[in-house]
Amino acid sequence: MIAIKDNIAEVELQISSACQQAGRSATDVTLLAVSKTKPVEMIEQAYNAGQRTFGESYVQEAVDKITVLQNKPDISWHFIGPIQSNKTKLIANHFSWVHSIDRAKIAKRLNDHRSDQDTPLNICLQVNISGEESKSGVLIAELPSLLNEVSQYQNLTIRGLMAIPEKNAPDASFTAMQTLFKRLQKQYPSLDTLSMGMSADLQPAINAGSTIVRIGSAIFGARAQK
Ligand SMILES: *Cc1c(COP(=O)(O)O)cnc(C)c1O
């Protein structure tokens, strides 16, 4: 059996050590436990170890698990996967955060479906930082107009940016995100979230100012291919 509690403690240690090296406070970085493809029982183990923030990537799988775990209302659910427009209602109704918005059309649909909720949906815009054609995320050149449009939606609160860095040069991607984020903060002072860093690269991400690290396999073990 995987000792999820031990894994979380180990990841938290890595986070605090990375923060120390970067001269940051460990309380500035949130650990998002990415539980996609993993069963409810594992999420409960993490919960019993004190974890309250979870990330999911597949809508129907996530909604099934969130429904089973309704008796734990202090869990904060973050959606981090690709978004199809016909899934926006489920996402708006079951999650408190969405990290993976890269189109105005998706933002508008989330905004419209969120109208019956009493709190706005927290969102990050996903940036295609390396400009690779195969990658999801908004291109840097298109980010200002997307930000401008999305900032007008009342049921969404723009919190910041998210990125999945280029595999070959993660550090360069992280640094580019940090620069971009600082520049946009001047225009939108309420931006407070930089979502970057996964199991293999949380240290350089934190060094570049990440405030949410999205950690899956280091907590729950390797995933089967999906
Ligand atoms: C799966 C996933 C993660 C977690 O990746 P690990 O390498 O298992 O830590 C983080 N972010 C996103 C967007 C993911 O899809």
**pLDDT value, residue 1:** 58
Per the structure, the count of domains in the chain is 1
What is the rounded CA–CA span in Å between residue 52 and residue 54? 7
**pLDDT value, residue 167:** 83
* Pocket perturbation via mutation, ligand 1, pick of 35, 57, 97 by most ligand atoms within 8 A of CB: 57
CA distances from 190 to 70, 158, 184, 193, 196 (A): 30, 8, 10, 9, 18
| Residue 101 Cβ < 6 Å to ligand 1 | no
| Residue 213 Cβ < 6 Å to ligand 1 | no
| Residue 215 Cβ < 6 Å to ligand 1 | yes
| Residue 121 Cβ < 6 Å to ligand 1 | no
Q: Which domain holds residue 164?
A: 4-220
| Residue 78 Cβ < 6 Å to ligand 1 | no
Q: What is the CATH number of the domain that holds 26?
A: 3.20.20.10
| Residue 136 Cβ < 6 Å to ligand 1 | no
Cα-Cα end-to-end distance for the chain: 22
Walk along the chain (226 residues) and give the pLDDT tens digit of each residue: 569 999 999 999 999 999 999 999 999 999 999 999 999 999 999 999 999 999 999 999 999 999 999 999 999 999 999 999 999 999 999 999 999 999 999 999 999 999 877 899 999 999 999 888 878 999 999 999 999 999 999 999 999 999 999 888 889 999 999 999 999 999 999 899 999 999 999 999 999 999 999 999 999 999 987 5
| Residue 126 Cβ < 6 Å to ligand 1 | no
Q: Please check whether residue 226 lies inside any domain of the structure.
A: no
Note if the pTM is more than 0.85: yes
Report the DSSP beta bridge partners of residue 126.
162
Q: Please check whether residue 103 lies inside any domain of the structure.
A: yes
DSSP letter string, 58-115: -HHHHHHHHHHTTT-TTPEEEE-S---GGGHHHHHHH-SEEEEE--HHHHHHHHHHGG
**pLDDT value, residue 21:** 98
Q: Please check whether residue 8 lies inside any domain of the structure.
A: yes
Q: Which atom of ligand 1 is nearest to the CA of 164?
A: 13
Q: Please check whether residue 225 lies inside any domain of the structure.
A: no
Is residue 57 within 8 A of residue 81, CB to CB? The reply is yes
Closest protein CA for atom 4 of ligand 1:
216
| Residue 198 Cβ < 6 Å to ligand 1 | yes
What is the rounded CA–CA span in Å between residue 125 and residue 213? 15
Q: Which atom of ligand 1 is nearest to the CA of 214?
A: 10
